[in-house]
Amino acid sequence: MKNYRRLLLFIKPYIPRLCLAVVCIIMAAAANLYVPWIIKDLIDKVLADKDLVTLNLLGLGIIVVFFFRGIFYYGQTYLVSYIAERVIIDIREVLYKKFQEFQLSYYEKQQTGTIMSYITNDVAALQAALVDSLIDLVTESSIFIGSVCMMFYIDWKLTMITIVVVPLVGQAMKIFGRKLRESGAVVQQRTADITSLLQESISAVRVIKSFVREDYEMERFSQQNYLNFRANMKTIQLMSLLTPIVEFLAALIVTIILWFGGYQVVNGALTAGSLIAFLTYAVNLANPVKRISRVFGTVQKAMAAADRVFGVLDTKEEIKDNPDAQDMPNVIGHVEFKDVCFEYNPGRRIINNLSLDVKPGQVVAIVGPSGAGKTTIVNLIPRFYDVTAGAVYVDDIDVRSVRLASLRSQIGIVPQETVLFSDSVMHNIRYGRLDATDEQIVAAAKAANAHDFILTLKNGYDTKIGERGVTLSGGQRQRIAIARAILKNPRILILDEATSALDTESEELVQDALDKLMIGRTSFVIAHRLSTILQADNIIVMENGEMVESGTHSALLAKNGLYSHLYNIQFNDKKSRQV
C-alpha cells in the first residue's frame, strides 16, 4: 500500500472534486440499497394486505430514486474520470521532467524503448487503478457497508452467522494479491521489452532491409511477443482463479442464509418479505466482495507499474547542482584542465592526469586513435560527466560550483550525428535561441551556408523536415545544426567530428560555415580528418587516455611521433585514391 498511498498524493490538488465524486458514488450506491426494501414491503404489505396505496408509493419511489441515481451516476463517472486524467497527466509530466534531469550516463545504460514504456505503458496501467478501481472500490464498499447495516436491522443473529465467512474471502484476496503483483511486474517488463524491440527495429529499418533480415527480426519479435503472452496468461490464470473462489465463498454465505432464514420463517420469527430482503442484501454483500476482489487484482497489477514509475522518480541524479551553486557569469572563454582523471566504471580509467590550458579565442584540436578519450574530454566541459579527480575550470571557476543551466547555455555543441526535430527548418534553427526573430534566424542560416538550399525546399523555412531531418542530406542537416549553434552565440564551441560523415562537396560548405562559427570563440575540435585542423592554435594528441603530444601542425610533424604517423596514413591514403 506504500506506493498506492504515494500515488494518492497526486490526487491531493483535486480533493474538492474527489469529495464531491465520493458523495455522488455513495448516493448512487444508496439507490441499490433501496431495492431490497421495496421487495420486502411488496411481499409483506402489498401482497399480504392487498395495499394499493403502498403499491403506488413504491412505484413513485422507484421512479424518483432511479432518476436521482442517474444524476449521481453521471457525476461520479465524470468527476472521477476528470481526476484520474489530471493525475495521469501530472505523473507523466513529473516523470518526463525526471528524464530531462537525468544525465547522459543514465541513457547510456537504458534502452530507448524501455524509457518510452515508463511514460506510456506503465502510466496507462496506473490509470486503471485510479479510474475504474476507485469508482468500484467506493461504490462496492458503500453497498457492502449499507447492506450489512440493513441486514443487522432485519435480523442481527442471521447477520452474525453470515459474516463469519468474510475473513476467508480476505485471506484469499491476500494470497492472490501477492501473486498478482509479482505477475504484474513481469507483464510490465515484457511490455517494455516489446516496446524496446519495436523502437530498435523501426530505427534500424534501413540496416534490416539491406541485410535482408526481415525474417530474423520477425522471429525475434515473435519470441518476445510469446513471452509477453505467457506473462499475461499467468495473470489471467490468477484472476480467473480468484473470482470463482470468492464466488464459492459467497455461495456458502447464501446457503447459510437460506437454511437458517428459512428455519426462522417456518418458526414465525421472521417474515417472508424480510427473508427475501435479507437474502437480496446478502447478494448485495456478495457482489461487492467479488467485485472488490477484481479491483484488488487490478490494483495489484497496477502497483507493479507503480513500482517501476516510482523507481525512476527515486533514482538519484549523478550530476546535479550543488546546494550553494551560483549562476555562471558571462563567459570569456578561458578553459583549463588541471590533473583531470576520469573513469566511467571504477578501476577503468579513460582520462589520466590531463592538464591543459586553453586561452580565450583559441582553437584546440583533439586527435588520436578510436577509444583514446577525445569525446570524453569535451564532455567534461559542460559537465555531461564529472571528473573522477582533478578539476575543469572555465574562466578560473570550477564547473562543479555553478548551476548547470547557466554553464551549458554558454557552450555550443555541433556533434557528428546531427539531431533535428520533426518540425520546420525555422523551428530547428530557433531551438538555439527561442526568443530569436525570423530575421536573426535567416542571418544565422546565411552564416552557416544553409540559406540558399533552404529556399529551394518546398515551403522554404516552413518546410517540415521529417523525423531526425530524414528528408535532408547529411550536409544540409549539419548546416542547419551549425545555424542553430550560431544563433545560440556561445563563447565556447565544441565540434565533435562535425564533418567526418560528409562527402567532399558537403564538407567544404560545412567547413566554411564552421570556420565562420569559430571566429572569436574558444573552440574544441575533435577531428577525424586531420586536413580540417591544420590551422588550429594547438593540437592535442591522445592515446590510451593520456596526452602524448601537443603543438601546432608543423611542430607535430617535425616531432615525427603519433600525430605525424596518423597524418601520413591519411595523406598516403588520399594520394592512393587520387591515383
Q: Locate 534 and state its grid cell.
A: 591544420
Residue 48 is placed in which grid cell? 399480504
The per-residue pLDDT for 169 is 65
The architecture CATH gives domain 416-489: 3-Layer(aba) Sandwich (3.40)
- 3-state helix/strand/coil string of 188-250: HHHHHHHHHHHHHHHHCHHHHHHCCCHHHHHHHHHHHHHHHHHHHHHHHHHHHHHHHHHHHHH
What string of pLDDT tens digits covers the 579 residues of the chain?
677 777 778 888 888 988 898 888 888 877 777 777 776 767 766 666 676 776 777 778 778 888 888 898 888 888 888 888 888 888 888 888 888 888 777 777 777 777 787 887 788 777 766 666 767 777 777 777 887 888 788 877 777 777 766 666 666 666 776 777 677 778 777 877 887 777 777 767 666 765 667 787 888 888 888 888 888 888 888 777 777 777 777 677 677 777 777 777 777 777 777 777 777 777 766 667 667 766 776 777 677 778 888 888 888 877 888 888 899 999 999 999 999 999 888 878 889 999 999 999 999 999 888 888 888 899 999 998 899 999 999 999 999 999 988 998 898 888 877 778 878 889 889 988 888 899 999 998 888 888 888 898 888 999 888 766 677 887 888 888 888 888 888 889 888 876 665 656 566 777 777 777 788 889 998 877 777 788 889 999 998 888 999 999 889 988 888 888 888 887 765 544 444
Angle, helix 123-130 to helix 132-154, in steps of 10 degrees: 20
The bridge status of strand 522-526 relative to strand 538-543 is: unpaired
Q: How far apart are CA 14 and CA 87, in angstroms?
A: 9
- Of 408, 401, 402, 348, whose CA–CA distance to 378 is shortest? 408
CATH architecture assignment, domain 2-184+237-313 = Up-down Bundle (1.20)
Quote the distance between the C-alpha of residue 23 and its chain's center: 34
pLDDT of residue 575: 46
Cβ atoms of 90 and 280 closer than 8 Å = no
Q: Helices 214-266 and 272-313 sit at what angle, rounded to 10 degrees?
A: 150
Q: Do the domains 416-489 and 331-410+492-498+521-579 match in fold?
A: yes
- What superfamily in CATH does domain 331-410+492-498+521-579 come from? P-loop containing nucleotide triphosphate hydrolases (3.40.50.300)
Can you give 72-114 as a three-state secondary structure string?
A: HHHHHHHHHHHHHHHHHHHHHHHHHHHHHHCCHHHHHHCCHHH
Q: CB-based burial of residue 12 (10 Å sphere; 0-12 exposed, 13-18 middle, 19+ buried)?
A: exposed
Q: From CA 396, how far away is CA 380, in angstroms rounded?
A: 15
The pLDDT value recorded for residue 390 is: 93
Domain boundaries, the chain: 2-184+237-313, 331-410+492-498+521-579, 416-489
Q: Which of 95, 87, 76 is closest to 13 using CA atoms?
A: 87
